[in-house]
A and B are shown apart, each in its own frame.
Chain A
Amino acid sequence: MSTELERQQPTEVSEDDLEVLLGDRALGRDDHLNAPGFVIRPDDVQDVLTDLRDEAGFDHLSCLTAQQYSDRYESIYHLKKYADPTQEVSVVVPTSTDDPVSQSAEPVFRTADWHEREAFDLVGIDYEGHPDPRRILLPETWQGHPLSEGYDQEKPQIVTLSEHANPIQPDHHDEESDTMFLNIGPHHPATHGVLHVKTVLDGETVVDVDPDIGYLHRCEEQMCQQGTYRHQIMPYPDRWDYVSAGLLNEWAYARTAEDLADIEVPEYAQIIRTMSAELCRIASHMLALGTFALDVYGDFTAVFQYAFRDREVVQDILEDLTGQRLMFNYFRLGGVAWDLPEPRDEFIAKTRDFLDELPAKVDEYNDMITSNEIFQIRCHNTGVLEPEEVKDYGCTGPVARGSGVDYDLRRDDPYGYYENLEWDVITEDGCDNYARVLVRMQEVEESAKIIEQCLDLLEDWPEDERDVQANVPRTLKPDADTEVYRAVEGAKGELGIYIRSDGTDKPGRFKIRSPCFSNLQALEAMSEGEYIPDLVASLGSLDIVLGEVDR
Chain B
Amino acid sequence: MSSNNPRQSIHDSTAPSTDTRDSRIGEGPDDRFNSKLREAFGASPFILTKFDQFMNWVRGNSMFMLQFGIACCSIEMIHTYAIKHDLDRFGAGVPRASPRQADVMIVPGTIVSKFGPRMKRVYDQMPEPKFVVGMGSCTISGGPFQEGYNVVKGAEEIIPIDIHVPGCPPRPEALIYGVAKLQERIRNGESSPVVVKPYELEQFGDLPKDELVQKLASEIDEDDLVMRYNWADSP
A binding-site residues for B, Cβ under 8 Å: 138-143, 146, 151, 153-162, 186-189, 192-194, 214-220, 222-223, 226, 235-236, 239, 242-244, 287, 304-305, 308-309, 311-312, 315, 325-327, 546-547
| Contact segment of B3-11, B28-36, B38-46, B217-225 | B217-225
Distance of A215 Cα from B67 Cα, bound (Å): 17
Determine which of A142, A156, A326, A546 lies in contact with B76 in the assembled complex, contact meaning CB atoms within 8 Å.
Answer: A326
Q: Are B72 and A327 in contact (CB under 8 A)?
A: yes
0/1 interface trace, chain B 117-144, chain A, CB 8 Å (1 if under): 1110110000000000000001000001
B114 touches A159 (CB 8 A): yes
Please count how many residues in chain B sit with their CB below 8 Å of the partner chain's CB atoms.
58
Partner of B71, one of A161, A187, A244, A546: A546
Residues of A within 8 A of B97 (CB): 188-189
- What's the Cα separation between A222 and B219 when bound, in Å? 28
Could you tell me which residues of chain B, from 177 to 235, have a CB within 8 Å of some CB in chain A?
A: 201, 204, 207, 212-213, 215-216, 219-221, 224-232
Cβ–Cβ contact A218 & B83, under 8 A: no
A322 to B100, alpha carbons, bound, how many Å?
Answer: 41
In the complex, which residues of chain A have a beta carbon less than 8 angstroms from the beta carbon of B151? Answer: 218-219
Known: A154-B232, A189-B67, A312-B84. 17 other contacts (CB 8 A): A141-B220, A156-B229, A158-B228, A159-B226, A160-B117, A160-B204, A161-B118, A186-B118, A214-B114, A215-B112, A219-B148, A219-B149, A305-B82, A308-B78, A308-B79, A308-B82, A309-B83
Q: How far is the CA of A93 from the CA of B232 in the complex (A)?
A: 35
Query: What is the CB-to-nearest-CB distance from A319 to chain B, in angstroms, rounded to a whole number?
Result: 10
- Give complex CA distance A216, B71 in Å: 7
Q: In the complex the two chains form, what is the Cα distance from A315 to B173 in whole Å?
A: 14
Which among B70, B151, B221 has the greatest number of chain A C-beta atoms within 10 A? B70
Contact in complex: B122, A187 (CB < 8 Å): yes
The one of A153, A217, A242, A305 that contacts B114, using a Cβ cutoff of 8 Å: A217
B116 / chain A contacts, CB cutoff of 8 Å: 159
Contact B220 A304 (CB under 8 A): no
Q: Do residues B147 and A223 form an inter-chain contact, with CB atoms below 8 A?
A: yes
Cα A287 to Cα B75 with chains together (Å): 9
Residues of B contacting A217 in the complex (Cβ-Cβ under 8 angstroms) = 112, 114, 150
Could you tell me the distance between the alpha carbons of A158 and B145 in the complex, rounded to whole angstroms? 20
Cross-chain contact A161 with B227 (CB below 8 angstroms): yes
- Residue contact A161 to B224, C-beta cutoff 8 Å: yes
Picked from B82, B117, B229, the residue with its CB within 8 Å of the CB of A304 is: B82
B residues less than 8 Å from A214 (CB atoms) = 112, 114
* Cβ contact within 8 Å between A327 and B207: no
The answer on a CB contact under 8 Å between B226 and A161 is yes
On whether the beta carbons of B225 and A218 are closer than 8 Å, the reply is no
Interface contact A218-B110, CB-CB below 8 Å: yes
Known pairs A189-B97, A305-B83; A158 contacts B144 (CB<8 A): no
Give A240 Cβ to nearest chain B Cβ, in Å: 10
In the assembled complex, which residues on chain A have CB atoms less than 8 Å from the CB atom of B25? none
Most A CB within 10 A of own CB, among B79, B114, B121: B114
- Complex-state Cα separation, A18 to B75, whole angstroms: 47
CB distance from B119 to the nearest CB of A (A): 8
Residue numbers in B under 8 Å from A547 (CB-CB): 71-72
Given A187-B122, A217-B114, A219-B149, the answer on whether A162 and B221 have CB atoms closer than 8 Å is yes
Separation of A242 and B110 alpha carbons in the complex (Å): 13
Chain B proximity of A224: nearest CB distance (Å): 11
Contact between A157 and B122, CB atoms less than 8 A apart: no
* B55 in contact (CB, < 8 A): no
User: Is the beta-carbon distance between B84 and A157 smaller than 8 angstroms?
Assistant: no
- Contact string against A for B residues 14-31, beta-carbon threshold 8 Å, 1 for contact and 0 otherwise: 000000000000000000
Contact of A160 (CB < 8 Å), options: B121, B150, B225 = B225
- On whether the beta carbons of A218 and B148 are closer than 8 Å, the reply is yes
Q: Are B72 and A326 in contact (CB under 8 A)?
A: yes
Give 30 CB contacts A-B under 8 Å.
Answer: A143-B215, A146-B149, A157-B229, A157-B231, A158-B228, A158-B229, A159-B116, A159-B117, A159-B227, A160-B220, A161-B226, A186-B115, A187-B122, A189-B67, A214-B114, A216-B112, A217-B112, A218-B150, A222-B147, A223-B144, A236-B144, A239-B71, A308-B78, A308-B84, A309-B82, A309-B84, A312-B79, A327-B168, A546-B71, A547-B71
How many angstroms from the CA of A198 to the CA of B220 in the assembled complex? Answer: 20
Inside 8 A of A193's CB, which chain B residues have their CB? Answer: 69-71, 74
CA distance A146 to B149 in the complex (A): 7
Nearest Cβ in chain B — how far from A144, in angstroms?
A: 9
Judge whether B68 is part of the interface by a CB distance below 8 angstroms: yes
Distance in angstroms from A343 CB to nearest chain B CB is 24
The answer to whether A242 touches B112, judged by C-beta atoms less than 8 angstroms apart, is no
Contacts of A308 in B (CB 8 A): 78-79, 82-84
B154 within 8 A of A: no
State A214–B109 Cα separation when bound (angstroms). Answer: 14
Interface residue? B59 (CB, 8 A): no
Top 9 closest pairs, chain A to chain B, by CB: A219-B148, A242-B72, A308-B82, A161-B117, A154-B232, A218-B145, A215-B115, A161-B225, A146-B149
Chain A hits for B171, CB < 8 A: 325
Do A139 and B114 touch (CB < 8 A)? yes
Chain A residues within 8 Å of B112, by CB: 214-218
Task: Please state if B225 and A243 are interface contacts (CB–CB under 8 Å).
Answer: no
- Confirm or deny: B61 has a beta carbon within 8 angstroms of a beta carbon on chain A: no
Q: Say whether B62 faces chain A, with CB atoms less than 8 Å apart.
A: no
Contacts of B122 in A (CB 8 A): 187
Contact among A143, A146, A239 with B150 in the assembled complex (CB-CB below 8 Å):
A146
For B110, B149, B204, B212, the residue with the greatest tally of chain A CB atoms inside 10 Å of its CB is: B149
- Residues from chain B with a CB closer than 8 A to the CB of A140 are 219
